[in-house]
Structure 1
Amino acid sequence: MARKYNIQVAFIAIIVVVLLYFKQTKIKGFLIKNLYSGTPKTARTQRFPAIISNLVSEKEWEKISCVPFKVDRNISTPICIYNLTEGDNLSKVLSRGTVWQPHLIKTIQILKRDPELQLIDLGANLGTWTLSAARLGRKVLAAEMFPPTVIRLRKSIQLGNLQDLVTLVPKPLSDTRENVTIYLCRKSKMAINILMRKCSSPSPYVASTITMDDLTAYLPNGFTKAFMKIDIEGMELRVFNRSDHFLKTVDVPVILMEWRFYIRATLEPKCSYFISFMSRMDYIPFRHLAGPAGKLGPLLEDTHWLHITDLYLIKKTYLKSNFAHLQ
Structure 2
Amino acid sequence: FDYDAFRHNQLKSYISSNSKIVTSHELNIIDLNIRIVENFTCFKTNRLFQVIRTTICVHNRTDFVSAYYYGNSIYEQDALHLLFRIFLKYQHLGLIDVGANIGTYTMFAAAMNRFVIAIECFRPNYMRIVKAIQMEKLQQNVILIGNALYSQSGHKLSLSQDPTNIGGQAIYDSSPINKSLDNPYVVKTMRFDDLLPIIKETKKRSFLLKADIEGSEYHIFESGKQVLDYIDIPIIFMEWDKIRYHKARATNIINFLTTRQYIATIDTCKQVNATVPIEQWPVNIFWTKMNGSEIC
Shorter-normalised TM-score: what interval?
0.7 to 0.9
- Of structures 1 and 2, the larger Rg is shown by 1
Instruction: Select between 146-155 and 179-188 the one with higher mean Cα deviation.
Output: 179-188
Other-structure match for 1:322? 294
For residues 154 and 161 of structure 1, the distance between their equivalents in structure 2, rounded to whole angstroms, comes to 10
Q: Are the aligned partners of 1:180 and 1:206 in contact in 2 as well (CA < 8 Å)?
A: yes
Q: State whether residues 52 and 151 of structure 1, in contact with CA within 8 Å, keep that contact through their aligned partners in structure 2.
A: no
Task: Give deviations 1:132-154, integer Å, cap 9, x for gaps.
Answer: 01101100010001101111100
Residue 27 of structure 1 aligns with which residue? none
- Runs (5+) with no aligned partner, structure 1: 1-48
Deviation at 1:223, TM superposition (A): 2.0
Q: Using CA pairs below 8 Å that are at least 6 residues apart, which structure has the higher relative contact order?
A: 2
Question: Which residue of 2 is the match for residue 239 of structure 1?
Answer: 220
Task: Give the fraction of aligned pairs with identical amino acids, expressed as a percent.
Answer: 26
| Aligned-residue offset at 1:304 | 7.1
Q: Secondary structure at the match of 1:185?
A: coil
1:52-103 alpha-carbon deviations (Å, 9 max, x no partner): 56xx6x2x2xx1121101342233222211233xx21222211232122110
TM-score (norm 1): 0.72
Match of residue 205, structure 1, among 160, 172, 185: 185
Question: 2:24 maps to which residue?
Answer: none
Paired position in structure 2 for 1:258:
239
Choose from 240, 248, 269 the match for 1:269.
248
Aligned to 1:183: 160
Check 1:135–1:261 CA distance in 2 against 1; reply closer, same or farther (3 A cut): same
Partner of residue 223 from structure 1, selected from 204, 208, 222: 204
Q: Does 1:158 align with 2:114?
A: no
How far the C-alpha of 1:319 sits from its partner, in A, is 2.2
1:75–1:297: structure 2 CA closer, same or farther, 3 Å change rule?
Answer: closer
- Residue equivalent to 2:52: 75
| Alpha-carbon spacing, 1:303–1:207, altered in 2? closer, same or farther (3 Å) | closer
The 1:71/1:165 distance shift into structure 2, 3 A limit, reads: farther
In the alignment, structure 2 segments of 5+ residues that lack a partner are 1-30
Give the corresponding residue for 1:214: 194
**Equivalent residues, number:** 255
Q: Does 1:167 align with 2:140?
A: no
Q: Does 1:312 align with 2:286?
A: yes
Deviation at residue 165 of structure 1 after TM alignment: 0.3
Give the letter aligned to residue 74 of structure 1: V
Alpha-carbon shift at residue 321 of structure 1 (Å)? 5.8
- 3-state DSSP class of the match of 1:108? helix
SS at match of 2:215: coil
Structure with the higher fraction of residues in strand conformation:
1
Q: Find 2:117's aligned residue among 137, 141, 149.
A: 141
Q: Decide whether the 8 Å contact of 2:33 with 2:139 is kept in 1.
A: no
Structure having the higher helix fraction is 1
CA distance 1:125–1:71, change in 2 (3 Å): farther
Aligned to 1:91: 66
2:82 to 106, 114, 121: 106
Q: How does 1:44-59 map to 2 (within 5 A)?
A: 52=34, 58=37
Do the aligned residues in 2 keep the contact of 1:263 with 1:308 (CA within 8 Å)?
A: no
Deviation at 1:155?
Answer: 0.5
Residue 297 (structure 1) shift: 4.3
Q: Which whole-Å CA distance do the structure 2 matches of 1:208 and 1:94 have between them?
A: 29
- Matched residue SS, 1:138: coil
In structure 2, what is the Cα distance between the partners aligned to 1:307 and 1:271? 11
Residue-by-residue CA offset, 1:285-322 (whole Å, 9 max, x unaligned)? 11233x4xx21244xx334751410111111xx22562
CA separation of 1:204/1:137 partners in 2, compared to 1, >3 Å: closer, same or farther? closer
SS for the counterpart of 2:66 is: helix
Per-residue deviation, 1:284 = 1.1
Aligned position for 2:266: 287
Q: AA paired with 2:89?
A: R
Q: 1:246-268 deviations in whole A, cap 9, x for unaligned?
A: 11221111001011113334xx3
Asked whether the 8 Å contact 1:264–1:306 carries over to 2, the reply is: no
Amino acid at match of 2:288: I
